Homo-oligomer: A and B are copies of this chain.
Amino acid sequence: MYISKVDTLLDSIRKLIRRGATQNVKNIIAKLHAADVAQLFRYLNHNEQLAIFNTITSLEEASDILSQLDTPASAMILTRMDRRKAAELFKHMDPDDEVGILEEIPDDVREEILSYMSVSDTERVEELFQYAEDTAGRIMTPNYFALDEATSVDEAIGELQKLGEGTTEMVFYIYVTDKRNHLVGVCSLRQLLLVAPETLLREIMTQEVLSVRLETDQEEVARVVERYDLLAVPVVDHENKIQGIVTVDDVIDIIRHEATEDFLRLVGTGDEYLSRSIFKRARMRLPWLLVAFIGEIVGIQFLHMFNATLDQIIALAYFLPIILAMGGNIGSTSVAIVVRGLATGRLNVKELGKVIFKELGVAVLLGGLYGVLLFALAYLQFGDINYLGFVVGSSLVISMIMAAAIGTLMPIILHLIKIDPAVATGPFVTSAVDSLGILVYLGLATIVLI
């Protein structure tokens, strides 16, 4: 079984660390799967993490755990460690994990660690570093298994046996190449078992092999693996020569990460938020709130413009929050639907007209309903002011329809001009909805009531 709740473990480990019972901590950690240690580390502070990590003596176990930890935690541990030992640990890691962690380590420390590594190890890392962040080239592992198409099944099994125990998990597929190293096919391990030993790979391979390019964006890589139910996808260069593979476990990490990122960007922060200090958190959220602040100051000026109207009918101010809030609510739902739809590919940009039409239809229905409700309320409570109910009811309808239009259009426009809609949409929509809502409401009030 696996540990589904780390809570009890967390308490006892903390107690042991406080008491300095290194040997007991060591015994507990040795019994855990590296992935469970990673889970545990999420709830520990830096000092506790270091205390636990320092009890691990086996190089292999230590590098295994570093590969599983969240990247900032691994980077922190390696940064505070003897450079020579860090270089040694990196040697035991998969190159894709290695690159991910090295990205997070300060430049000077990274240089020092690399200086203790052999030329071939450094080259291997630098090769991956040459590809842009978030591309297949950067996240692939060069540990794939490829054979020439003229290899017999018997020879292929021999090659597999040579690989040794440690790499068992890596072999999902056997990639088949021609004489000039072009990727021409793929075999599953089970296919090897189904035919005579002298059969050539060329005869049994599947020729329709899906691949991605070195520069393919990682989200696109994830979509390919997801859509075609692959366990790994080969990464090829512009000559169709295989350079590495991206495996399904890395794809799961990408999907999870991108979903969280989209989710949090929409509210003006990011995936790393929770591991940051108060000051850094505040700095992450500052620009988003600044846009909202400036937008709302425009709203103040609009209200100021209508001060004569407000002065005459103070009751108009009572309905300001509800008109703006209902607009904001319906607008932010439209934003979330469009942003997520674009991210998952459920919304096709060619179908824009239909999307906008439907969202406006929804806004007309909901705006109409709540507009009538608000009209009724205003009439019952403030019936002495003629037409007040009419003004607040219609303003609510108009403001909700406008909000749905802005909330739908803004992310689509940003997407079309290649700006990430998740980052830029939020505060613009809420403040635009507020300002326009104020204009419509008090404009209408001035015309009808004054």
Contact = CB atoms under 8 A, between A and B. Distances in A.
Interface of A: 1-2, 4, 6-7, 10, 33, 35-36, 38-39, 42-43, 157, 160-161, 165, 168-169, 171-172, 188-194, 210-211, 220, 224-229, 231, 248-249, 251-253, 255-256, 259-260, 262-264, 266-269, 273-274, 278-279, 281-282, 285-286, 288-289, 292-293, 296-297, 299-300, 303-304, 307, 310-311, 314-315, 317-322, 324-326, 328-330, 332-333, 335-337, 340-341, 344-348, 350-351, 358, 361-362, 365-366, 369-370, 373-374, 377, 381, 427, 430-431, 434, 438
What is the total number of copies of this protein in its complex? 2
Given A264-B337, A303-B318, A344-B260, A373 B293 contact: yes
A165 B206 CA distance: 12
A260 B340 contact: yes
Contact of A189 (B190, B314, B320, B348): B190
25 contacts: A1-B210, A7-B350, A42-B348, A189-B190, A226-B252, A252-B252, A259-B259, A259-B260, A267-B332, A278-B362, A278-B365, A279-B365, A281-B358, A282-B365, A282-B366, A285-B330, A285-B362, A289-B370, A304-B318, A304-B381, A311-B314, A317-B317, A320-B320, A328-B328, A329-B427
A10 B351 CA distance: 11
A171 B279 CA distance: 51
B325 A263 contact: no
Nearest to A208: B33
A171 B95 CA distance: 28
A contact patch SS: helix
A2 to B, nearest CB: 5
Nearest to A192: B193
B193 A168 contact: no
A332 B426 CA distance: 11
Contacts of A289: 326, 329-330, 366, 370
Contacts of A273: 337
B190 A160 contact: yes
A435 to B, nearest CB: 9
B211 A190 contact: no
A151 to B, nearest CB: 15
A335 to B, nearest CB: 8
B226 A256 contact: yes
A300 B269 CA distance: 32
Contacts of A160: 190, 193-194
A322 B310 contact: no
A336 B266 contact: yes
A273 to B, nearest CB: 6
Contacts of A377: 297, 300
A438 B321 contact: yes
Given A169-B188, A279-B365, A328-B430, 10 more contacts: A10-B350, A226-B256, A229-B249, A267-B337, A274-B347, A278-B358, A296-B321, A304-B381, A314-B317, A324-B325
Contacts of A229: 35, 169, 249
Contacts of A191: 168
Nearest to A329: B292
Contacts of A281: 358, 361-362
Contacts of A358: 278, 281
A252 B39 CA distance: 20
A246 to B, nearest CB: 13
B255 A231 contact: no
A308 B210 CA distance: 72
A381 B300 CA distance: 11
Contacts of A310: 314, 317
- Nearest first, the 3 closest Cβ-Cβ pairs linking A and B are A259-B259, A296-B322, A278-B361
B42 A296 contact: no
